Structure 1
Amino acid sequence: MIYKVYTKRIVDILFSLTALSMAWPIIAISILAIKLSSEGPVFFTQNRVGLNGKTFRIYKLRTMSVDINRKIRQTSQADSEVFGAGKILRRLKIDELPQIFNVLIGDMSMVGPRPCLEVTKQEMPEWALRRFELRPGMTGLAQVSGNVSLSWQRRWEFDVCYVEKCSFATDVRIILKTLFVVLFGEDRFRSA
């Protein structure tokens, strides 16, 4: 319990400061790639639901063409709206790096259930709302267990499992597995 409430936040601050010091050159190169390959803003922001159901603004590098009429839906790398550099940024999860700022300011954690849209929260069964007991994470148990190949129900099960088993050791395992997912792709890490 002490880890969930106090220590996890301290670890997040230290980890995000370290990650930011290493990630800024990658973010800078990615910004240049976005500017050269697509018109529009560099960053994509969106309201997401976080700790205790509170809404916050998430930051990502933009990987899709700007379309103000686009309907909100799950996006994959294969979608035609994802431009060339965006495909690489998505595949390597580089588009997620600006969320380090979300971790630093306390909206997110390095590890936790992924932040969802309000419409997704409204569709959740009561038992799945436990996922909001922790800050949402840049990565999480569902993300290293199949991610978008999983049904929403299965993802929520992984999220609730993480809330119940949250520990420093679990976070370290998920972060290490995330590195393997980034290097080798999500398909190799699907759980049944």
Structure 2
Amino acid sequence: MAFFRVTTPETSTSWLAHSASNAGSASCTAPMNSTLAMERNSTQVLWPTARIRRGSTKRNTPLHERAIAALCLAASAPVLAVASAFIRRQSPGGPVLYRAERVGRGGRHFTMYKLRTMHVMPPNAPRLTARHDPRVFPAGRILRSTKVDELPQLWNVLNGDMRFFGPRPEDPAIVHNCYEPWMLESLDVPPGIVGPGSLSYFEDESRIPSDPGEAEHYYVTVQLPRKIARDLAYVRRRTPAYDLALAVRTVLGILGIRSQSFKSVRLETATEEQVLGAVRSRPGSSLPG
């Protein structure tokens, strides 16, 4: 059985240490380390990707996607205007846009935009939204359920930070405190507005605890590994047909229709079982069964 060592580049090691110290905290059972020993298995279900590096100026989005994003942003302007009016009316005193720092391809930090759906809270408030979270105002619930709150991310696509399809970018605190080595593979591709992991999270929102603190713990210990494992199916096999399937599944999800018959769903389920099964089999794994 072969073992090999993976070490992040020297610049990345210092960046990780600096970022982790400034990213806040998250309750995780397995913090990420910059130097790790991992096992290569015959099926290559797991392999190391420690290509975290300081933010690059290279953009992730091809020109045709930026053009489509510009058209969609212009077309959605009336919807954004109406949504902004409801936000100002139901939650005055706060900004219309929610600006969230996220980690993208190769560990590059960027600002992701959303319509604000929650009342302004103190900085030490829980990062994740619980089921029936009282911080979400009525119009915000509608914006979240219809995914209208994600429309400002068209600007992120236009700006080259994101693509339409790909793994959803995570909060730096979660990346630096909660990611295990195998999860880093999800940072090999540009982040997206829609991805397999985010679709599964959208479908499983009813399982999120009502208490915000419990919701954060449930997310990082149960949902995060599942979400990233499913994203790896896309990372390893992304095609235009896969993108189309994700688009159709997103529309069906908004309409409340579960899309289990898609080939892409079966692929994601198989990848999740493979990856998480391999993780659980490793000595000292704390991943729930």
TM over 0.5: yes
Alignment of 1:119-138 (within 5 A): 119-122=173-176, 123-138=178-193
2-structure distance, mates of 1:86, 1:164: 35
Question: Which residue is equivalent to 1:104?
Answer: 158
2:61, 2:160 within 8 Å by CA — same for their partners in 1? Answer: no
Which of 49, 66, 84 is the equivalent residue of 1:13? 66
Say whether residues 1:171 and 2:243 are aligned partners: yes
Residue identity (%): 33
1:49, 1:116 within 8 Å by CA — same for their partners in 2? Answer: yes
Structure 2's unaligned 5+ residue stretches are 1-58, 205-221, 270-289
> Which amino acid is the alignment partner of residue 120 of structure 1?
I
2:167, 2:194 within 8 Å by CA — same for their partners in 1? Answer: yes
SS at 2:95 equivalent: coil
TM-score between the two structures when normalised by the length of structure 2:
0.59
2-structure distance, mates of 1:62, 1:29: 13
Cα distance change, pair 77–43 in 1 and its aligned pair in 2 (3 A): farther
Alignment of 1:142-181 (within 5 A): 142-147=197-202, 149=204, 151-181=223-253
> Which amino acid is the alignment partner of residue 38 of structure 1?
S
Cα distance change, pair 99–179 in 1 and its aligned pair in 2 (3 A): same
> Which amino acid is the alignment partner of residue 121 of structure 2?
D
Question: Which residue is equivalent to 1:38?
Answer: 91
2-structure distance, mates of 1:62, 1:80: 14
SS at 1:114 equivalent: coil
2-structure distance, mates of 1:77, 1:26: 26
Deviation digits for residues 43-92 of structure 1, max 9, x if unmatched?
11011000111000011100001012443432145100000110100111
> Which amino acid is the alignment partner of residue 85 of structure 1?
A
Deviation digits for residues 71-127 of structure 1, max 9, x if unmatched?
343214510000011010011111111000001000111110001011211211111
Q: Which has the larger radius of gyration?
A: 2
2-structure distance, mates of 1:115, 1:127: 16
2:60, 2:160 within 8 Å by CA — same for their partners in 1? Answer: no
Count of aligned pairs between the two proteins: 185
Q: Give 1 or 2: higher helix fraction.
A: 1
2-structure distance, mates of 1:127, 1:70: 29
Q: How large is the Cα RMSD of the aligned pairs?
A: 2.2
What is the Cα deviation at residue 189 of structure 1? 4.8
Deviation digits for residues 103-153 of structure 1, max 9, x if unmatched?
100011111000101121121111111111111111111122344737211
What is the Cα deviation at residue 172 of structure 1? 1.2
1:48, 1:58 within 8 Å by CA — same for their partners in 2? Answer: yes
1:146, 1:189 within 8 Å by CA — same for their partners in 2? Answer: no
Say whether residues 1:24 and 2:77 are aligned partners: yes
Structure 1's unaligned 5+ residue stretches are 1-5
